[in-house]
Amino acid sequence: MKRQLPGLSTTAVDPRPALPDGIFLVRVESAQHHWHPQKPFHVVRLSVLEPKQFVTQPIIGRLYWTPKAMWKLGWFLRDFLYDPELLSQDELNEQALRGLVGVVKVSHMVRNVVSLVNFDAFAPASQWEELSSANRVPPQATTVVRAVRRARRSR
């Protein structure tokens, strides 16, 4: 049986603009441990501080702590200035992560029909000015980049 539900289609549209791949100055809002037998990880929720147009967009991603991925977790903790004493004791305190500020480079990928955020790189917050000015793309260049990406996808 089919039913007509006026307004249903508007609920499927996300009113927020999509967060693009790029570099952001962020603050850690929360980190939560998730156990998985092969790939334990922390879900990290970041709030964007810069650029201003994305301040309302949270960034939610995973930091794995398998032996193979431990280097990336360490990179994140060092660049976000996590307590060196806790780090030297192999301790990850979720409360101590809250409020840490740093720079993150994100990209998006789709795996099994689920869109995931990758944390590609990290840097201390003190490097934000240098990194953000080096990676600014003029508005018209952004349009060209999007057109090229669409053309590649349609092949």
Tell me the per-residue pLDDT of 119-130, one tens digit each, with 9 for 90 and over: 999 999 999 988
| Tens-place pLDDT, residues 73-112 | 999 999 999 999 998 898 888 899 999 999 999 988 877 7
User: What domains can you pick out in the chain, each with its CATH number?
Assistant: 19-154 (2.40.50)
Residue predicted with more confidence, 18 or 98: 98
Whole-number Å distance between alpha carbons of 92 and 87: 7
Nearest CA among 123, 16, 114, 126 for reference residue 62: 114
Phi, psi values for residue 74, rounded to 5°:
-60, -40
DSSP 139-155: HHHHHHHHHHHHHHHH-
Is the pTM here over 0.75, yes or no?
no
Nearest CA among 40, 43, 41 for reference residue 30: 43
